[in-house]
Amino acid sequence: MPDLKMDMTVNGRRVTKPAGPHMRLLDYLRDELGLTGSKEGCGAGECGSCSVFVDGKLMKSCLMPVAKADGAVIETIESLAQNGNLNPLQRAFYKTGASQCGYCIPGMVMAASAALRENPLADAEEIKERLGGNICRCTGYSKIFEAVEIARDVINGTLPATALDAPGAGQSYIGNNVRRLDAPGKVTGALRYAGDMVMPGMLHMQVLRSPHPHALIKSIDTSAAEAMPGVACVITAADVPGVDGFGVFVHDQPVMAKDRVRYVGEAVAAVAAEDLLTARAARDAIKIVYEPLPAVFDPEAAMGDGAPVLHDYAPDNIVKHIPIRKGDVEKGFAEADLIVEQTYSTQPVEHAYLEPEAGLAYVDHDGVVTVVSPSQNITHHRHMLAKIIDKPIHKVRFIMSPVGGGFGGKEDMIFQGMLALAAMKTGRPVRLVFSREESIVSTAKRHPARITCKMGLKNDGRITAVDFRMISDGGAYGMSTEGVMRKAAILSCGPYAVENVKIDTYGIYTNNTPSGAFRTFGAMQAQFATESHLDICAEKLGLDSFEIRRINMMRDGATTHTRQKLGSVSLGRVMEAAEQASGWQAGPPVSRGLARNDLGGPGNRRPCTLGARLRPGSEQLREEVA
Amino acid sequence: MLTCETYLTPATLGQALAQWAAAPPGSRLIAGATDTLPWARQGRAGDVYVPALVDVSKVAELQDYEISGGRVRLGANLVMQRFLSDETLRAHLPCMPHCAIWFADDQIREQATLIGNIVNASPAADGTPPVLAMNGTIELARLVGGAVTRRSLAVSDFVTGPGTTLLADDEIVTAVECDCLAGYGGAFEKVGQRRSLVISTVCTACLVKPSADRTSFEDVRLAIGGTGPVPLRLNHIEEFLKNRPVTRDILRQASQMTDGLINSRTRRAYRGDVLSGFIERALEDALADCGVHIPSDSVREAANA
């Protein structure tokens, strides 16, 4: 594959460096020109983290073969802040706190630039539309839209330039807006995430993953891969010098599958090579013979007799069972006027941070094995890796790179071990950057749960007993399941004072993608069941939804089901605020007022549509500006 | 990941046809290429090696558009965003701005072509229903004895099934021709999982020409996508509406004429409900687009209650 001759203008400079014919414009900008402000979030045109101007039009550089950009004038995020001075849009993003993890922000700033270049008077709806091709996982977009509107007005002169200044911090951080110190690096694209980092002599890693949910590994033949020119090493579980196993609670997961695979997407072998293409070719040349085993995909089936066993230490497939007992539920049910039993289920959820997993490892001049990655738990990872690679703790170092979104999904050490092994084996820096698909296939998800809630109530709405049973699919490895089950159990019955409770949460091994930490850490699934259940009970008792909660809510000085003494409880005030803000109409859930107060008001979202710029008036406005 | 041995950027149609005819098997012809790179990823085609990519986006004869004899000739390289940004196209193809605004997003529309959308022949293609409604014909070219030879087909015949068309191996699509429908009101309805960057579950293109006194339909064009293997023109509803008065009752009657139109693999009942709603709303929106008074949304909702 001969290189392509290129001749383009990038950020005002002529560039003639040749490009590989496989390259996308994004690869060329990042890998050949070192312009890593443009990020890769999906590689499929869905997220906009890679947006750049091509001959004045904003485009997604991951969708553009580099040859298309030959002869073009390219502007990237790096061109916006001249001599390090943020432009008005970047200052507005800084002011409103529009950057959180920051990974989407270069693309977002570019999309906002395009919106205001195309229509300097774009209204809020049109701004939303023009940013429609860019995804942000952290902010909920409000701060971003707010920033674009401020910048628009400053640029048009309807707001003074001082509108971009920070508000006075006051005497205290509490109660005052405080600027994010890291925002300038994010709005300019200067901040380097792990996948943006390079080192001299760096190798590129690719990972071979299991196509089977459950199978024995009969043989691994790496000879063809190792013989390929440009391949520096191939690693498998056999390269682990120490005690192989990691996890947040139980160390049940090997760095790479050992003897058998337990889910589709599990790492089995990895290659480090001089370039990505060689690494991919070598990965595909590794031959593995599998012997498929019966697999189990439903946690209740996995609890049954004769189900396939995933881990020898857990013959019942139970990762963790957390029981809580308080009072006497049978007595509580006997006292009840109404008993309601329902089963609720939730689905797995992907964290979908914009930054796919990435890491860089090297062995430094003192022989310290160093791993740079967006890990949410570097100290724990360091201790685990020391045992895995059989080194004293002072010879293992973890550096936390900027986390381009985590949400719990980067708590597990699922790739750092492979990087460390390859760096040790080759003596060279090794980098691995996950594709979006790889990230979705191989990383932990929110636990899917099946929850049966049985609740006894008096006719006046008081809860007399709760029997709460939650069965969660932990997937193939333990990860954070134990903690998630614990928190789900503690918070299962919500902030309600109940004398008699019986709670059981189970995390179960299956051959599904492992479940792990995710915002709320198990509370969300439990609350979904309990709060849905309360509404159903309110309907049966003819009570208002807020009323049934007020009757049962914990108050100042309450003791929780796990005997934690609460000083103050703000639930009453929270509900009052929610009731007012929502335009609530009192009555049981089945009742409906004459008019809907929850639609069409100033605080409500309008129905989803497009075409703000086509509606009468917008054209006229644009002409007035021109 | 897509890897290719040779990346060709012909400057003329003759060059493009010669290079395409000579390209080794497995080569691909691209214009905007916005579907090509996502196609070569895990879960779809995976890593793909292509001997040659023939990129026609710089071919002079395929640029831009021409208007003559009541038809608009849209070159194969015309990108979707032009239907929003070009005043002449907006005036002559009143349905297309509404279609374009729902097509992918502003950035992809700068790169993606209408004709690429038609040629990919997705059952949910947003670009095809409006072209059907505008009596679109597609022009294909090939080299015969060194000379460029062209043929034209109705787009309704050209798209034969999901991902399949009558395009021959050595042919390149050069243009699509559509009726100039200046003075018509246009509308496009679409529903998917979100606003931008989403595949249609159902879409509906509509064009309406009111009578001189603006009380009845003189001409109506309706076409739908996402409802079966290929997009469809709804001739029977068009005929029903012609010369009938613009009344809510007539719109409602038209919206119920959907028997047999849903031939999708999944969610048939849902799509059927959506389609009826879309026909009514598309007619309303198209009437509003050409200034024919129709009841406001709240009046419509009250009437439907």
Task: For residue A23, list chain B residues with Cβ-Cβ distance below 8 A.
Answer: none
Which of A16, A20, A42 is CA-nearest to residue A31?
Answer: A20
If DSSP states are collapsed to H, E and C, what string results for A470-491? EEEEEECCCCCHHHHHHHHHHH
Which of B23, B21, B17 is CA-nearest to residue B7?
Answer: B23
- Label residue B14 by pLDDT band (50, 70, 90): very high
pLDDT of residue A622: 39
Rounded distance between C-alpha atoms, residue A618 and residue A500, angstroms: 62
- Give the count of alpha carbons within 13 A of A570, CB side only: 3
CA A70 to chain centroid, in Å, comes to 36
Residues A392 and A452 in one domain: no
Residue to test with chain A: of B107, B189, B297, B301, most A Cβ within 10 A: B107
Does A117 lie at the interface with B, CB-CB under 8 angstroms?
Answer: no
Rounded (10°) angle between helices A142-155 and A105-118: 40
Task: For residue A129, list chain B residues with Cβ-Cβ distance below 8 A.
Answer: 101, 106, 195-196
Task: Let me know if residue B304 belongs to a domain.
Answer: no
Average pLDDT over residues B186-215: 94
Strand partners for A273: A204, A231
pLDDT of residue B305: 54
- A514: its two tokens: 């492992």
Residue of A nearest to B83 (CA): A614
Residues A466 and A583 in one domain: yes
- B210: its two tokens: 């009111």
Q: Do the beta carbons of residue A182 and residue A403 sit within 8 Å? A: no
Residues B156 and B254 in one domain: no
Provide the pairing of β-strand A449-457 with A338-345. antiparallel
Residue to test with chain B: of A1, A22, A442, most B Cβ within 10 A: A22
The answer to whether residue B257 scores a pLDDT higher than 80 is yes
What is the count of residue pairs from A and B with beta carbons less than 8 Å apart? 121
Beta-carbon neighbour count of residue A141 at 10 Å? 15
CATH number at residue B273: 3.30.390.50
DSSP state of A193: P
Residues B209 and B110 in one domain: no
Residue B242: domain span: 185-297
List, for chain A, all residue ranges whose pLDDT scores fall below the cut of 70: 168-169, 593-598, 603, 616-626
User: Using CA atoms in the order A328, A333, A337, A340, what is the torsion angle rounded to 10 degrees?
Assistant: 130
pLDDT of residue A440: 97
Q: Is B296 helix (H, G, I), strand (E, B) or coil?
A: coil
Residues A371 and A226 in one domain: yes
Cβ separation A68–B2 shorter than 8 A: no
Rounded distance between C-alpha atoms, residue A510 and residue A440, angstroms: 18
- Give the position of tokens 């989407």: A104
Average pLDDT over residues B245-250: 92
Residue B101's region, left for phi above 0, alpha for psi from -120 to 50, else beta, is alpha
Rounded distance between C-alpha atoms, residue A235 and residue A206, angstroms: 11
CA A206 to chain centroid, in Å, comes to 22
Residues A508 and A575 in one domain: yes
Cβ separation A133–B41 shorter than 8 A: no
Domain count, chain B: 3
Residue of A nearest to B2 (CA): A22
pLDDT of residue B301: 56
Q: Do the beta carbons of residue A441 and residue A476 sit within 8 Å? A: no
Rounded distance between C-alpha atoms, residue A472 and residue A319, angstroms: 10
Residues A261 and A373 in one domain: yes
Residues A208 and A259 in one domain: yes
0.90 surpassed by pTM = yes
Give φ, ψ of A579 to 5 degrees: -65, -45
Residues B25 and B72 in one domain: no
Alpha helices in B229-296 (DSSP H): 235-241, 248-255, 268-289
The answer to whether residue B74 scores a pLDDT higher than 80 is yes
Residues A251 and A395 in one domain: yes
Residues A275 and A401 in one domain: yes
CATH number at residue A267: 3.90.1170.50
Residue of A nearest to B108 (CA): A59
Does B49 lie at the interface with A, CB-CB under 8 angstroms?
Answer: no
Residue A455: domain span: 446-471+488-591
Task: Let me know if residue A531 belongs to a domain.
Answer: yes
Residues B84 and B175 in one domain: yes
DSSP state of A166: P
Rounded distance between C-alpha atoms, residue B289 and residue B207, angstroms: 9
Residue of B nearest to A608 (CA): B195
Domain count, chain A: 3
Residues A459 and A535 in one domain: yes
Residue to test with chain A: of B7, B19, B34, B39, most A Cβ within 10 A: B7
Residues B107 and B69 in one domain: yes
CATH number at residue B91: 3.30.465.10
Rounded distance between C-alpha atoms, residue A516 and residue A474, angstroms: 7
Last residue of a domain, one of B128, B151, B179: B179
CATH number at residue A549: 3.30.365.10
What ipTM describes this predicted complex?
A: 0.94
- Give the position of tokens 């929502």: A582
Rounded (10°) angle between helices A142-155 and A88-96: 140
Task: Let me know if residue A233 belongs to a domain.
Answer: yes
Task: Let me know if residue A36 belongs to a domain.
Answer: yes
- The H or E element containing residue A505 is strand A500-509
- Give the position of tokens 């022949």: B121
- Give the position of tokens 């159902």: B202
Output the DSSP codes for A587-620: S-TT---SS-TTSSSTTSPPPP---GGGSTTHHH
Task: For residue A284, list chain B residues with Cβ-Cβ distance below 8 A.
Answer: 47
Which of B206, B210, B284 is CA-nearest to residue B251?
Answer: B284
Residues B83 and B143 in one domain: yes
Residues B163 and B194 in one domain: no
Residues B162 and B253 in one domain: no
The answer to whether residue B112 scores a pLDDT higher than 90 is yes
DSSP state of A307: P
Task: Let me know if residue B302 belongs to a domain.
Answer: no
Residues B222 and B153 in one domain: no
Task: Let me know if residue B255 belongs to a domain.
Answer: yes
Q: Do the beta carbons of residue B275 and residue B227 sit within 8 Å? A: yes
Alpha helices in A79-182 (DSSP H): 88-96, 105-118, 124-130, 142-155
Which of A439, A512, A505 is CA-nearest to residue A475?
Answer: A512
Last residue of a domain, one of B179, B212, B241: B179
- The H or E element containing residue A334 is helix A329-335
Which letter, b or e, does each residue of A406-415 get, where b requires 16 or more Cβ atoms within 10 Å of its Cβ?
bbbbbbbbbb
Residues B136 and B197 in one domain: no
The answer to whether residue B304 scores a pLDDT higher than 80 is no
Does B111 lie at the interface with A, CB-CB under 8 angstroms?
Answer: yes
Residues A66 and A46 in one domain: yes
Residues B204 and B281 in one domain: yes
CATH number at residue A49: 3.10.20.30
Q: Do the beta carbons of residue A290 and residue A261 sit within 8 Å? A: yes
Which of A318, A249, A284 is CA-nearest to residue A504?
Answer: A318
Rounded distance between C-alpha atoms, residue A418 and residue A396, angstroms: 14
Residues A271 and A365 in one domain: yes
Residues B131 and B41 in one domain: no
Residues A363 and A246 in one domain: yes
Rounded distance between C-alpha atoms, residue B65 and residue A354, angstroms: 39
